[in-house]
């Protein structure tokens, strides 16, 4: 079990952000195509009220060729800035079969988020430059090491200044929430 600590920002100029990341010394680690399948567990639990999610992810590295498939439970957000939540992830060998199991159990609604993710390593963080189908470009900053809130805010302020972004660019909703909202789907 681990806790994910991340900050997500909506951006309009991915090329500019990528150039600035490289100027800061960020190293491109990978380019990944991700298919995220979110299982609507509504017959069993009110996911929105409980602020939880169950995701099956299939990741294919476009640079290294490997494929990783996993199931992740995302717990209630413990903090909004930065977003902190419990995550429990299990590697699986066949995402399609896992989806089939959930469908056989009666979970009909599966929402898919498709993205291309460039993974950069920068100091104490991973910076993901994401292109999300239907939504556009975002960067996510994921902390690799825990740090106190004051240090975190100072590091983020420096990074935001270097990338020419601000707190007003922060996106507090998940990609799934944004997609459902855009599609006019009310998720119980």
- Residues annotated as catalytic are 38
Strand, helix or coil at 61?
strand
d(CA 188, CA 175): 16
- Quick check: 132 and 113 in contact, CB under 8 A? yes
CA atoms within 13 A on the CB side of 2: 11
Give backbone dihedrals phi and psi of 11, rounded to 5 degrees, phi first: -130, 160
| DSSP letter string, 78-89 | EEETTEEEEEEE
């Amino acid at each position: 079990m681990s806790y994910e600590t991340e900050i997500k920002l909506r951006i309009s100029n991915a090329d500019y952000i990528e150039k600035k990341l490289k100027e800061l010394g960020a190293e491109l680690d990978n380019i990944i195509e991700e298919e995220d399948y979110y299982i609507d567990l509504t017959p069993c639990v009110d996911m929105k009220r409980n602020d939880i999610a169950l995701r099956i992810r299939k990741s294919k590295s476009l640079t290294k060729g490997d494929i990783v498939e996993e199931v992740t439970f995302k717990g209630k957000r413990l903090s909004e800035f930065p977003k902190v939540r419990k995550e429990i992830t299990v590697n699986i060998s066949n995402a399609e079969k896992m989806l089939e199991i959930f469908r056989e159990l009666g979970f009909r609604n599966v929402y898919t988020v498709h993205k291309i993710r460039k993974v950069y390593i920068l100091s104490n963080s991973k910076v993901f430059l994401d292109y999300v189908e239907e939504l556009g470009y975002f960067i996510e900053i994921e902390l690799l090491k825990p740090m106190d809130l004051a240090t975190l805010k100072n590091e983020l302020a420096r990074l935001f200044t270097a990338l020419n972004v601000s707190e007003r660019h922060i996106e507090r909703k998940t990609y799934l929430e944004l997609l459902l909202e855009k599609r006019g789907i009310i998720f119980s």
